[in-house]
Chains A and B, each alone.
Chain A
């Protein structure tokens, strides 16, 4: 297996199982444990692996918070495009993600796990007041059916016959 292929396999596996035991992963991929550990730490240094997160379904807790998607239209700046305005937005710790989007608006900003009031304050006080921002449209997520490739709405059940030839 060449390096590119090895890395791809490691990434594919840990993308959905961040907590997998390295020894076990090595066995499953037919590699040595040292090889897996080396590749992973290299990829961490290179910024290919940016973190190991936990996928939480907050709706199953008693949390009362909401998640908002905000469509932002703004004026790009000469020589900088959207980078400066994106940076101004992503520096707020309450912001979860900022994407530059093609189509009817420019930036997609998400805020997760906040109260309605916190989001309202953020949009009216911090976002809308930025000079280069033309407009914001805020959408609230009502229900998460699937996130990061994982179906949250329904649990998997094995409906196969117990024994088949």
Chain B
């Protein structure tokens, strides 16, 4: 029989996380610090609104771009959080998670062979989305000594005449790195000089622990060349609702909506009603969750310092990205050994790009009690490793 699979898909690697997941799931009593989603339940008033919408029989499609009421709330939310105004009718598209928005942005804008700069380590889906859209991913390695921030010189060096898009994955999964206003200004300068488009994945924007998150779209001259992607998963602990959005100038948003219309039709209606409630009355919930994460972050950093594990202080998302290179193991070996010997699951840095080698991602979307148990085991593990040397 002929090979039913497309060559492009055959060549696509399955996520490094998937491989590790299979090992972990066989181990019954493992403690995991490997989760990339909040440990909080969606706040009850938001869930209640979803339930209410079902009771009312709101079980139909919404318009392609999403409920008008939701798009209006998104527009107001972005105005109060990133000081950028989007027309709710023409410039906001509600999607199935931020992931769909990334895919749509790539497919709406890329011609065959056009290059997309993807800073790594970063979320696993940028490269496959670019490839499937016919573009060519150009990996830009972020460095630990820069606290994994994107530097203008490195960006400049990665640009070719074919470069069209820059992906901006900040606050970053897996490193926890952020880009502050001064960092962004330098990037914006290069972007404008080379006439690039930015796809800014700001899904962790509410989880910024230094200053309030700044969007590159809010800088002068950037709004017209930026697609802002965000969603409800991380800010409101709504991962399972699968709801995100993209905001972009009308000409881009219109084409993304066209694609969305053919492959998705519209985002889940129940989730959209719940999301309206989240944006109207959820600011306090977000603030409380952010405070809880921040306390865990400080606690974790303190413990790692005590263990002598080198780690830059991350100011975003809910991950720390310590350097484990002193143990002379690959990230994969380190994680597998830690899992086998101490039954703690963390994710190898290489799952997020080759330059994640020598690092592991540790999530603090867990209660302090859980973190303490896991850290105790990690500490024993490090002592064991050092004594073996």
A positions within 8 Å CB-CB of B: 9, 12-13, 24, 27-30, 158, 160-165
A and B contact pairs by CB, cutoff 8 A, 29 listed: A9-B291, A24-B299, A28-B295, A28-B298, A28-B299, A30-B298, A160-B35, A160-B39, A161-B21, A161-B35, A162-B21, A162-B30, A162-B32, A162-B34, A163-B17, A163-B21, A163-B34, A163-B345, A164-B17, A164-B21, A164-B35, A164-B36, A164-B37, A165-B15, A165-B36, A165-B123, A165-B124, A165-B125, A165-B173
Question: Residue B274 at the A interface, CB < 8 A?
Answer: no
Question: A9 — which chain B residues lie within 8 A by C-beta?
Answer: 291
Contact check: which of B15, B20, B36, B302 meets A27 at CB < 8 Å? B302
In chain B between 17 and 54, which residues have their CB closer than 8 angstroms to a CB of chain A? 17, 20-21, 24-25, 30, 32, 34-37, 39
Q: Which residue of B lies closest to A30 (CB)?
A: B298
CA distance A29 to B294 in the complex (A): 8
Assess whether B20 is in contact with A163, with CB atoms less than 8 Å apart: yes
Assess whether B39 is in contact with A163, with CB atoms less than 8 Å apart: no
Assess whether B37 is in contact with A160, with CB atoms less than 8 Å apart: yes
Question: B20 — which chain A residues lie within 8 A by C-beta?
Answer: 163
A-B contact count (CB 8 A): 53
Q: What is the interface size of chain B, counting residues whose CB is below 8 A from a CB of the partner? A: 27
Assess whether A162 is in contact with B299, with CB atoms less than 8 Å apart: no
CA distance A12 to B291 in the complex (A): 10
Question: Residue B351 at the A interface, CB < 8 A?
Answer: yes
Known: A9-B291, A160-B35. A165 touches B299 (CB 8 A): no
B positions within 8 Å CB-CB of A: 15, 17, 20-21, 24-25, 30, 32, 34-37, 39, 123-125, 173, 291, 295-296, 298-299, 302, 345, 347, 351, 368
CA distance A158 to B32 in the complex (A): 10
CB distance from A10 to the nearest CB of B (A): 12
Assess whether B24 is in contact with A163, with CB atoms less than 8 Å apart: yes
Assess whether A162 is in contact with B25, with CB atoms less than 8 Å apart: yes
Question: A28 — which chain B residues lie within 8 A by C-beta?
Answer: 295-296, 298-299, 368
Assess whether A163 is in contact with B299, with CB atoms less than 8 Å apart: no
Interface contacts beyond A24-B299, A163-B25, A165-B36: sample of 12 additional A-B pairs, CB < 8 Å, sorted by A: A13-B295, A27-B302, A28-B295, A160-B39, A162-B34, A162-B35, A162-B345, A163-B21, A165-B17, A165-B123, A165-B124, A165-B351
Known: A27-B302, A28-B298. A164 touches B291 (CB 8 A): no
Assess whether A163 is in contact with B37, with CB atoms less than 8 Å apart: no
Known: A162-B24, A163-B20. A29 touches B351 (CB 8 A): no
CB distance from A36 to the nearest CB of B (A): 13
CB distance from A28 to the nearest CB of B (A): 4
CB distance from A149 to the nearest CB of B (A): 12
Assess whether B295 is in contact with A29, with CB atoms less than 8 Å apart: yes
Question: A162 — which chain B residues lie within 8 A by C-beta?
Answer: 21, 24-25, 30, 32, 34-35, 345
Assess whether B21 is in contact with A158, with CB atoms less than 8 Å apart: no
Contact check: which of A13, A24, A158, A163 meets B347 at CB < 8 Å? A163
Question: A12 — which chain B residues lie within 8 A by C-beta?
Answer: 291
Known: A24-B299, A27-B302, A30-B298. A163 touches B291 (CB 8 A): no
Q: Which residue of A lies closest to B41 (CB)?
A: A156
CA distance A34 to B123 in the complex (A): 41
Q: Which residue of A lies closest to B17 (CB)?
A: A165
CA distance A125 to B61 in the complex (A): 65
CA distance A160 to B302 in the complex (A): 27
Contact check: which of A27, A29, A163 meets B35 at CB < 8 Å? A163
Question: B35 — which chain A residues lie within 8 A by C-beta?
Answer: 160-164
Q: Which residue of B lies closest to A160 (CB)?
A: B35
CA distance A163 to B36 in the complex (A): 7
CB distance from B14 to the nearest CB of A (A): 12
Question: A164 — which chain B residues lie within 8 A by C-beta?
Answer: 17, 21, 34-37
Assess whether A27 is in contact with B298, with CB atoms less than 8 Å apart: yes
